Amino acid sequence: MKRALTERVLGFRSPLIGLWITLRQVFQRPVTVQYPHETLKIPARFRGHIELVRDPATGKAICFACKSCEKACPSDCISVEGMKFEGEKRKSVTEFKLDFTKCSLCGSCVEACKSNAIRFSRAYNLAATSKEEFILDLFQRLEAEARANPPVGAVVREPEPVKVEAVKTEAK
The footprint of ligand SF4 (CB under 6 A) covers 50, 63-69, 72-73, 75, 77-78, 80, 103-109, 112-113, 115, 117-118
Query: What minimum distance in Å lies between the beta carbon of 70 and ligand SF4?
Result: 6
Q: At its nearest, how many Å lie between ligand SF4 and the CB of residue 149?
A: 21
Query: Cβ 112 to ligand SF4, closest distance in Å?
Result: 6
User: In angstroms, rounded to a whole number, what is the distance separating the alpha carbons of residues 75 and 107?
Assistant: 11
- CA angle 91/140/82 to nearest 5° reads 20
> If we measure between CA atoms, which residue out of 130, 126, 73 comes closest to residue 96?
73
At 69, phi and psi to the nearest 5?
A: -65, -40
Our CA dihedral for 91, 92, 94, 95, rounded to 10 degrees, sits at 90
Q: How many whole angstroms separate alpha carbon 165 and alpha carbon 115?
A: 39
Give whichever of 19 and 111 is closer to ligand SF4, judged by the CB atom: 111
Nearer to ligand SF4, 75 or 156 (CB): 75
Q: Is the Cβ of residue 10 or residue 52 nearer to ligand SF4 in the bound state?
A: 52
Closest to ligand SF4 by CB, 91 vs 157, is: 91
Distance CA 59, CA 39 (A): 29
* DSSP classification of residue 134: G
Report, in Å, the least distance between residue 89 CB and ligand SF4.
14
